[in-house]
Amino acid sequence: MESTELFHASKEIVEYPEIRISRFTKDFSWGFYCTKRKEQAIRWANRGSGNPVVNYYEFVPNDCLSILKFEEMNDEWLNFIAKCRNGQTHNYDIVEGPMANDTIWNYVNDFIVGKISRKQFWVMAEFKYPTHQISFHTLSAIHCLKFIKSEVIYA
């Protein structure tokens, strides 16, 4: 199986990834989030105060895991994110797809609370730049990651 380099934005070195349950759920529920886009990780690492740390991992997929992959933003993706952002969990080990960044999240939230229709969501979300995220939701999934290095990168 071919490996992929992934990046995790942080304020610290994350040699041993963890799945943390927090007050707020994320796009694909609680998990350890990475991206294959280094520039995206650098942008996220530079948000807020503290040193912008980008952690590098080698990801070797395991065919025995339950993986959900969204190739693009579509209705299935929107429904899944809406459920996860509302606190529902799922049984996937790994979920991969576009990220609902701050702007897209505002549209998702407006859709969830009924301020905009599904059609209005897609009109507003259509021209946003591409993003990527892959989230690891179980220990078996975390074991597919091998820490390579970390570095402080200022944007």
- pLDDT confidence band for 130 (50 / 70 / 90): confident
Q: What is the pLDDT of residues 6-40, one digit of tens each?
A: 999 999 999 999 999 888 889 999 999 999 999 99
Between strands 67-69 and 32-34, the pairing is unpaired
Give percent of the chain with pLDDT exceeding 70: 98
- pLDDT confidence band for 127 (50 / 70 / 90): low
Residues 6+ apart with CB under 8 A from 86: 25, 112
Q: Which has the closest alpha carbon to 34: 95, 107, 104?
A: 95
